[in-house]
Amino acid sequence: MKADLVIKNGYILTMDENFTEYKNGNIAIKDGKILDIGENINYEADEIIDAGGNVVLPGLINTHTHAAMTLLRGYGSDNPLKVWLEQYIWPVERKFVSYEFVKDGTDIACYEMLRNGVTTFVDMYFYENAVADAVLQAKMRAVLCTGILDFPTPGAKTPDEGIEKTKDFIKEYKESRYIYPCIGPHAPYTCSPQTLQKAMQVAEDYDVLFHIHLSETEHEVQDILNRYNATPVKHLDNIGVLNDRVLAAHMVHPTEEEIYLMAEKKVKISHCPESNLKLASGIAPVPKMIEAGITVSIGTDGTASNDDLDILGEISTAAKLHKGYNKNPVLLNAKQALSMATREGAKALRLQDKIGTLEKGKYADIIIIDINQPHIQPMFDPYIQLVYSAKSTDVDTVIIDGKIVVRNKEVLTIDKSEILQKAKKWKEKIICGN
**128-138 vs 99-115: helix axis angle to the nearest 10?**
40
Residue type, 247: L
Minimum distance from residue 359 beta carbon to Zn ion (Å): 31
Binding region for Zn ion (CB under 5 A) out of 181-189, 295-303, 346-354, 383-391: 295-303
Per the omega criterion (within 30 degrees of 0), is the bond before 378 cis? Answer: yes
Minimum CB–partner distance for residue 410 and Zn ion (Å): 30
Nearer Cβ to Zn ion (108/247): 247
- C-alpha 378/C-alpha 395 separation (Å) is 18
Q: Round to whole Å and give the CA distance between 411 and 190.
A: 38
Positions in 297-316 near Zn ion (CB under 5 A)? 301
Q: What are phi and psi of 151, to 5 degrees?
A: -115, 165
To Zn ion, the closest distance from the beta carbon of 171 in angstroms equals: 25
Q: Would you say 166 or 275 has its CB closer to Zn ion?
A: 275
CA distance 162 to 125: 11
Residue stretches of the annotated binding site for Zn(2+): 64, 66, 213, 301
Find the shortest distance in angstroms from Cβ 249 to Zn ion.
5
Please say which residue, 165 or 186, places its beta carbon nearer to Zn ion: 186
Find the part of the chain contacting Zn ion (CB under 5 A) among 81-89, 296-304, 358-366, 381-389: 296-304
**Within 10 A of 180 (CB to CB), how many other CB atoms are there?**
22
Closest residue to bound Zn ion by CB: 301
- Minimal distance in Å, beta carbon 66 to Zn ion? 6
349 vs 367, which CB is nearer to Zn ion?
A: 349
Residues with Cβ within 8 Å of 203's Cβ and at least 6 positions away in sequence, in order, are: 182, 183, 209, 210, 245
Q: Which residues inside 40-79 make contact with Zn ion, applying CB under 5 A?
A: none
Report in angstroms how near the CB of residue 73 gets to Zn ion at its nearest: 15
- State whether the Cα torsion 414-416-417-423 is positive or negative: positive
Alpha helices by DSSP H, listed for 117-192, are 128-138, 159-173
- List C-alpha distances in Å: 249 to 63, 136, 216, 253, 328: 8, 24, 8, 12, 25
* Beta carbon nearer to Zn ion, 124 or 371: 124
Q: Is 248 or 376 the residue whose CB approaches Zn ion more closely?
A: 248
Give the residue ranges of the annotated binding site for substrate: 93, 186, 216, 301
Q: Among residues 204 and 223, whose Cβ is nearest to Zn ion?
A: 223
Alpha-carbon distance of 163 to 156, in angstroms, equals 9
Least distance to Zn ion from the beta carbon of 65, Å?
A: 7
Q: Show the binding pattern over residues 92-131: x = contacts Zn ion (CB under 5 A), - = does not.
A: ----------------------------------------
The DSSP output letter for 358 is: -
Binding site membership: which residues? 64, 66, 93, 186, 213, 216, 301
Using CB under 5 A, count the residues that bind Zn ion: 1
Give the binding site for Zn ion (CB under 5 A): 301
